[in-house]
Amino acid sequence: MMKGISKTALWRNTIVEFAKELGYDHFTIGLKRDSITIHLKPRTSKLKITIELAVKSLHYDIKNTQDCMDFCLLLRAIEDIKAF
């Protein structure tokens, strides 16, 4: 019998693959591109994310699939703003 993948692992993998499409490099600690570092910390029922920007940090909790999709949209918005 095959063991199912946990929700947090699925969300983490989704975010990593999406971020890689945006040009982020994947490291053991998380993801990095230019001056942005993203730390992914799986917990039992959620995925804790910290986005380190040049002057601020954003903290984000992924507790369901909609949160995961919203985070991907947030990441794309950050990249769009950086382009200006």
What is the full DSSP assignment across 23-41? TPEEETTEEEETTEEEEEE
What's the mean pLDDT when you consider all of the chain?
Answer: 91
Q: Looking at the domain assignment, is residue 19 inside a domain?
A: yes
Q: Global pTM?
A: 0.86
User: Mean per-residue pLDDT for 62-70?
Assistant: 96
Range of the domain at 59: 7-82
The residue that leads in pLDDT, 3 or 74, is 74
Q: How many domains does the chain have?
A: 1
**Residue 13, CB half-sphere, CA atoms under 13 Å: how many?**
6
pLDDT over 70, % of the chain: 95
Residues 6+ apart with CB under 8 A from 31: 16, 19, 20, 24, 25, 37, 38, 40
pLDDT per residue as tens digits for the range 3-39: 667 899 999 999 999 999 999 999 988 999 999 999 9
